Amino acid sequence: MPSRSIQSWFDEYGESHRNPTNKLIHWICVPTIFFCVIGLLGSIPPHEIPYVGKVPWAKLVIGITLTFFYLPRSLTLMIGMALWSCFCLWLAGYIDTHAPWPLWAICTVLFVLAWIGQFYGHRIEGKKPSFLKDLQFLLIGPAWLMGFIFRRLRVPY
């Protein structure tokens, strides 16, 4: 069981995400980065697991992250992140089969642009990104946004 509550993580993350412009940038860039990571992982040939077979890297990483990071912190947020991850997997598959450019190339460009946006938002904010203090904040960011959606829908987490 994690030593910190999810709300404790959100409170600390929120300390460097108070400026409205920075928040708006995060609403665009955090989901984009999350999708791009899934798309880039989806571009790697599947991993062979003995007695299981070939497992796509994106699904393997999502499964590990949902199970060992999100689930211990909040079942509800884990379900929300699982649904978002499934959408990202679907979108990556759609882009991979329908786009005129390779999925990895599209994700690489979007990933770089989204990170530029993130750092610009933190420049406006006047505070460093949280992940520079603790890399776990890279996974808290998407959940922080999911938490806003859940509060709006009055879904307890």
> Tokens representing 94?
């759609």
For the chain, the residue count is 157
The count of other CB atoms within 10 Å of the CB of residue 79 is: 16
For residue 1, the model assigns a pLDDT of 54
Residue 26 confidence class, pLDDT cut points 50, 70, 90: very high
Reply yes or no on whether the pLDDT at 52 is more than 80: yes
For residue 47, the model assigns a pLDDT of 83
Q: What kind and span of H or E run contains 75?
A: helix 75-98
pLDDT in tens, 87-111: 999 999 999 999 999 999 999 999 9
Q: Is 92 exposed, middle or buried (0-12, 13-18, 19+ CB in 10 A)?
A: buried
Average pLDDT, integer, range 142-150: 97
Percent of the chain with pLDDT over 70: 99
> Tokens representing 99?
């786009």
> Tokens representing 150?
């859940």
